[in-house]
Amino acid sequence: MTDSSLRRQLTPSDALIVGIGSMVGAGVFAVWAPAAAVAGSWMIISLVIAGIIALCNATSSAQLAAQHPESGGTYVYARERLSPFWGHVAGWGFVVGKTASCAAMALTAGNYIWPDRAQIVATGSVVLIAIVNLGGLSRTAAVTRLLLAFAGMALLVVILSSFLRTPAEQATLSANINVDTYGVLQAGGLMFFAFAGYARIATFGEEVINPERTIPWAIPRALGAVLALYLIVGFVVLSADSPEQIAQTTAPLDHIVSSSSLSTLSPIVAVGAGIACLGVLLNLIPGVARTILALGRRHELPSWFAFVSPHRSLPLRAEVTVVFVVIAIVNTVSLTSAISLSGVAVLTYYAITNAAALQLGPHERRWPRWIAWVGLAGCALLAISLPWKVVVTGVLVMVVGLLARFIALRTQRPT
């Protein structure tokens, strides 16, 4: 009989790198422009709001992962702590949101690396990442370290460029953008996209060594490190350009470098941004595949997806399927549409994470219960603050998932 469990091979440092590598990507390079357009110079407040909510979500994910160390993340937690229905909502939300995020990351990489052939680069990137992932998670963690080094180099160039600008080049912060509470919250919802990779550690619950200790240790530290980095970059962006200037460019970090005395280093930022997006993609695809694996194991998707390759210890069928779907989205949907599809689904996923954490008993809890309440309310608030078209799209896609579950349960029986 073939063992369908996954091999525990991720060390604590690997888990930490996977978490950081899942966040430092398209967000830090691209999120500033849309955030500045609705929040102006208050976008730093939006960043802090998104970071606080993400931290609440992270503590809930960490506590639950320690109690349920298996693949699937909140899909598993919600089934165990709430009900199979809410587990499916969370699982479907993760699959939809993160598959769209995969496409968004690939397209962002294409836009930075070769704008005129963005779709071709994006497709090639997905294929390349699939080949790396099929080599196993130990290689994935190693490659993530390399990709993070490239991203760090690009961000260092941006920070140095901001200090080397002449006084005439420094922009004065403008109040011409009308800012209100709704705009600040909407920017927070947009910036949450940049943090949404930390729970990737939890989706690897079956592959982390000593998950009861490693996962609660790695998730908050990964998030804290990335929040500190984003705050530094946010202040650099605002000190270099006005909110109007930031909002008008699709590559605000590259604009800082190209308009400084280090303009010759501008290609480093473009390449670093593209490579950072690939680093996120490197961890997103296997994370989605492992949720599909969990859905297949419980017959809420065809049990065909429950197969784990005995030779590679990977959910091979699920991962290959995700790759093909992402390639299809990349070649049919715009970057904005991909991010829009991701937004509501991901926030729904994390809202359910917090709801499940509220069911933990006193002996299972590592952080105060009120943190989960803040995370739940915060996710709901950010979701409804997004543009209404995004909300409607997300709700419709979630309903499609519920209908698919209903049909599957009516026509499919566990064997």
pLDDT bin (cut points 50, 70, 90) of residue 354 is very high
Taken as a whole, the chain contains a residue count of 415
Q: Of the segments 61-70, 92-101, 157-166, 274-283, which one has the largest average pLDDT value?
A: 92-101
pLDDT bin (cut points 50, 70, 90) of residue 387 is confident
Taking 70 as the threshold, does the pLDDT of residue 332 lie above it? yes
The average pLDDT across 365-388 equals 92
Give the percent of the chain with pLDDT over 90.
18
Can you give the pLDDT at residue 369?
A: 93
Residue 184 CB coordination number (10 Å): 19
Can you give the pLDDT at residue 176?
A: 57
Closest Cα to residue 57, out of 185, 201, 187, 181?
Answer: 201
pLDDT bin (cut points 50, 70, 90) of residue 124 is very high
CA distance 30 to 109: 11
User: In the chain, what are the domains?
Assistant: 12-411 (1.20.1740.10)
Can you give the pLDDT at residue 376?
A: 97
Taking 50 as the threshold, does the pLDDT of residue 172 lie above it? no
DSSP 267-318: HHHHHHHHHHHHHHHHHHHHHHHHHHHHHHHTTSS-GGGG--BTTTTB-HHH
Mean pLDDT, rounded, of the chain? 81
CA distance 93 to 89: 6
Residue 132 CB coordination number (10 Å): 18
Residue 324 CB coordination number (10 Å): 10
The average pLDDT across 290-310 equals 80
- Reported as a single tens digit per residue, the pLDDT across 40-90 is 889 999 999 999 999 899 889 888 887 887 766 788 899 899 998 999 899
pLDDT bin (cut points 50, 70, 90) of residue 295 is confident
Taking 90 as the threshold, does the pLDDT of residue 358 lie above it? yes
User: At 395, phi and psi to the nearest 5?
Assistant: -65, -45
Can you give the pLDDT at residue 1?
A: 38
Residues 6 or more apart in contact with residue 272 via CB below 8 angstroms: 150, 151, 153, 154, 155, 157
This prediction has a pTM of 0.81
